[in-house]
Structure 1
Amino acid sequence: MPSDMPPAGPPFPGNSAPDDPFSGNQDFDRTIAYRGPRAQPAPGADALRTQRMPEWDQPEVIGYGTVPGEPAPPPRRGSRGWIIAIVAAILVAVVGGGGVYAVSLLSGGGSQPQDVLPGNAIAYVRLDLDPSAGQKIALFQIARKFSVTKRSFTGDDPRQALFNLLRQNDGELSKVDYAKDVEPWLGDRIGVAVLAPAAKGEEPGVAVAVQVKDENAAREGLAKLAGGAKDIGVAFRDGYAIVAQAQNLADTYAKATPLTDTPAFADDVAALGEQGVLSFWTDLEKVGAAAGSTADADAAVLDAVRGVHVAGALRFDGSYAELAGLARGGSAASRAQPEPVKIGELPASTVGAVAVSGLGDVVSQQWPQIEKAASGVSGEGFTRFVQEARQRYGLSLPDDLVTFLGKGVSVALDEQGLSGEQPNVGAVLDTDPAKAGAVLDKVEKFLADSGTPMKFARANGDDRLVVASTQEYADTLTKAGTLGDGDTFRLAVPDAGDATYAAYADLDKVEKFYLSDVPESERADVQTLRAVGLSGRQSPDETTFSLRVVFN
């Protein structure tokens, strides 16, 4: 455990409720609340672990506390929301068996697949069923919130569950006995690397790194899994089996400079931080070039991704699940720096919002590509529309559109009015209100002549135009609100004050509209979902994003 962790309380044998060893245990509560950085164990840490926390060495006790009664039958397909399904799948995979599997591996240390896969990888994906201790603790906190998760825990090794799933779609695997041929050697981490073609016109290579506990058993087991195929090569490096399309390739990959030592990869992973349960990385330019070696590649597409590399990770906190990522390189340096969005200044009663900065600049810079793409879909129809809009209504594209969008746009839906016929929805445009208002006049005239007359409620603020469904809501949006002060918003939309794009949905405020349609047995799980948020920042150096699902 990290050295700056709060002092431990009474040892685990003091639990008074054997059916729920987590309940009421202050020592465990302090442990799961810890959010400090990972650290290497201090000397004597193993002895301390044995003396102070013996129950970690007896995971069966934890399993009994997490899985009361008989396992429930499999849930009905499609009967739960997709968010719950994804989160539950990850929880079952990592803390399968109600903690039997994960707690026994709390350290989460050791080498990663990127430490053994070759450095000429152009794309990489990693799955870690033994993540850092902090990730496991967070997963336990989340697991305790969902009844669907508890019902899914069966005490099985999640690796076996994955193997059984693969065996259903591969007849050859029916000859493989998991307990005899796989379990004795299979570790907890796997990584897949796509490698640059050896020469122009050749296919990209693929290398798989599988963590193993016994090299001899792994060699035999992998041979059996391959069904006796002779074109499969296996080599070993630092606790991993390197599997490739041929033995000479496997041997070469096992001796190559690892991906960890590739500067672009190392920098991206360091900037990303915690890699969580699932992570990925790719060099888009090299992927595009590899695709172009076997097929005609669009030059415009290749230009757009030149020098771009992307990294991401699925990770957890006790209050949320997060998919975080970043993109670097490319032509970002030639773009202007967008201003932060003002989503946090929307009313506290907002239930849903989207905010984007710099849309006007994007339209201005990308209009030739937008016009080309639109013409490709509608032919000359788009060109005629642009000409008619200018001649009949004075709409000049893209100039008027750039003026209207301005420096930033925030669209909001308010809790008030949701149950009525006229919901409160509006857009706050950070632009010159007089010029943008004149553009809106042209749009309203166009709509009227098109047979769909529509009048928008408007209000002017300081360097902003508000367009809304009602005049009362338009007036409200001209004033700075306090959405950004709420705990739920801050969890769902991190660093909103610096974000150049963001989105937010408060599920607690809208669940009353759909909760009655949810089966009673599943209602508690749906109510656990608190909010969903997206935020990110675009700069000349990189673009970042964070997608979070927040739990009650």
Structure 2
Amino acid sequence: MWMVPVAAGLGVVMMAGTVWAATSVAQNVFVGAQPESVLPGSSIAFAKLDLRPSGGQLAGYTQFVNRLPDSMRDEIDPDADPAKELVDSYIDEAGLDGMSYEEDFEPWLGRHFGFAMWVPDSEEAATESGGTTMAIAIEAEDEEAAEAALDEIRSATDEDTAFDVRDDFAILAPNSAALSDLESQVESEGSLEDLDTYNQDMEAIGTENVASAWMDLGQLASTAAEDSGSGTGGYGLDEYGGVQQPDPMESLGQYEDVSGRMAVGLRIEPEYMEVRGDTFGLTVDGVSTADYDLPDPGLQLMGDLPDDTVFAVGGSGAADMMGQAYEQNPEELSDLEDLMSELGLTMPDGLTSLLGERTALGITDLGGSVDEFFGGATGPPSLQYRAEGADSQAVQNAIDTMWENSYTTPPGVTSEGSVTVATSGTTGTGRLGDDAVFKQTMAGTESAHMGMYLDLRPVAESAEESAPEQWGAVGASVTFDAETMSMRARWAPNGGG
């Protein structure tokens, strides 16, 4: 599940460039050469950014920008070029006083960018942690101008970066050995564009993406394991703005046997921005979803939560999946077994007693929950729990046990047909599924196995935004079968510029 925040992070990083592409005048709109055409098919990780959308994409981007909250849209300069800001910053840092974006970069700098990492054949080419090397491909609309600019940069700096300009791209590598290795890899293995597996995976997530990435998880895991053994910690995220979160490469490297691939894409639709990440043939330590009896999908219970729900999670078959995992490896879930024992239940049947076949939890007072997190709440948050097929008496007994020494009122337990309902505090009387923002945010996720929903309107209101209703909501879902796991994260703003 570390893949979900990685995918979301990719979307956030690319947002500024996407807004520029959505609101700028479309000049010379066409689908030109793509960076995977000049990067090696042996790549174990690849990412690209496309700031030259097709006419249809541009129309969708413009509509999406018009749905952004006023306070965000007011900060957007539709004529701004993100490349200029980046290049100007580099010129200043590198001390290239005789160069300028307008004279030396704008005439040739295209809008297709790519990055690839691979394991080189020569040790001299290995410049990154884990014995890998990398290269960047930048679209060059004027190859002579690109070569002249890069030549001037190399002459004016002490950097060892090697470059080549060919096939409509300027290709930059850490040193000449890495560049030579890239060329030999492409010659012997073909380019990434020639790799059928890559093309099939990218087609699965859709081709209308402004940014995308592809990874060979097995190769990355091997590389990460070697890197962790060296103690270099070369894949940490702290250097990027001081982000404090688990290192995904370190998490991947702790497993002995990983195989499979992952593709991630960021796309913009008129009503939302979505990051989608799919895994293909993923196995971890010999285990995959193919080893489980997969439950029927469905997030219907989330729609039955109160209409004032601010945060909701839901799932189908969670008890069954966890029960199968317990039977395969009970030692890994010993803590859960102890918890169930404290509630007077046994594994794995006790899971079904509490969770049922489908489960949903909704919190209706996010402000109180935030206060509680910071130690200022006077009581628990208002919430509703719904479990289809659960044992109402088991749920009641579990609540009685958990609230045995509490001074607060425990949730009340009722039944609505086959659904056990536990409610605490004050909740709305309508259905969340009838809310227009919920429908917009969670559209197309009805057949997912797991889902999450967060209404940003009360969050924006607590932040004293002038138009909190324009922030809409964010949602996420996970769907899986025997071969593929698909994860989606979506933001659906509700501005009306």
Bin for the TM-score computed over the shorter chain: 0.7 to 0.9
Pair 337,179 (structure 1): closer, same or farther in 2 beyond 3 Å: same
Shift of 1:504: 2.1
Greater Cα offset, 245-254 or 494-503: 245-254
Q: Percent identity?
A: 26
Partner of 1:155: 79
Pair 199,453 (structure 1): closer, same or farther in 2 beyond 3 Å: farther
Larger RCO (CA within 8 A; separation ≥ 6)? 2
Cα separation, 1, equivalents of 2:324 and 2:153: 53
Partner of 1:413: 363
- Aligned with 1:181 (options 96, 104, 107): 104
Shift of 1:279: 0.9
TM-score by length of 2: 0.75
Pair 158,283 (structure 1): closer, same or farther in 2 beyond 3 Å: same
Partner of 2:134: 206
Shift of 1:239: 1.0
SS in 1 for 2:85: helix
Q: Which runs of 5+ in 1 are unaligned?
A: 1-81, 376-381
Shift of 1:535: 2.4
In the TM superposition, 1:5-20 aligns within 5 A as none
Partner of 1:465: 420
Give a deviation string over 1:65-111, Cα, whole Å, max 9, x none.
xxxxxxxxxxxxxxxxx9x997862344324xx524xx114x34112
Is the 8 Å Cα contact of residues 406 and 429 (structure 1) preserved in structure 2? yes
Pair 512,288 (structure 1): closer, same or farther in 2 beyond 3 Å: closer
Partner of 1:269: 202
- Aligned with 1:514 (options 436, 451, 462): 462
Pair 91,458 (structure 1): closer, same or farther in 2 beyond 3 Å: same
Cα separation, 2, equivalents of 1:443 and 1:424: 15
Residues 1:130 and 2:52 are matched in the alignment: yes
Shift of 1:422: 8.5
Which one-letter code corresponds to 1:541 in the other structure? E
In the TM superposition, 1:96-245 aligns within 5 A as 99-100=24-25, 103-105=26-28, 107-146=29-68, 147=70, 148-153=72-77, 155-167=79-91, 170-173=93-96, 176-198=99-121, 203-226=131-154, 227-228=156-157, 231-244=160-173, 245=175
Shift of 1:442: 4.4
Pair 207,345 (structure 1): closer, same or farther in 2 beyond 3 Å: same
Partner of 1:25: none
Cα separation, 2, equivalents of 1:501 and 1:224: 53
Shift of 1:203: 0.9
Shift of 1:326: 1.2
SS in 2 for 1:260: helix
Shift of 1:325: 2.1
Which one-letter code corresponds to 1:224 in the other structure? E
The alignment's C-alpha RMSD in Å is 3.9
Which one-letter code corresponds to 1:488 in the other structure? V
Structure with higher Rg: it is 1
Residues 1:337 and 2:294 are matched in the alignment: yes
Give a deviation string over 1:370-401, Cα, whole Å, max 9, x none.
986788xxxxxx69x939x74x7634355534
In the TM superposition, 1:87-98 aligns within 5 A as 89-95=16-22
SS in 2 for 1:121: coil
Shift of 1:473: 5.8
Shift of 1:363: 2.7
Partner of 1:19: none
Cα separation, 2, equivalents of 1:188 and 1:298: 33
Cα separation, 1, equivalents of 2:161 and 2:185: 13
Shift of 1:128: 1.2
Which one-letter code corresponds to 2:358 in the other structure? G
Cα separation, 2, equivalents of 1:262 and 1:85: 28
Shift of 1:262: 1.7
SS in 2 for 1:114: helix
In the TM superposition, 1:23-42 aligns within 5 A as none
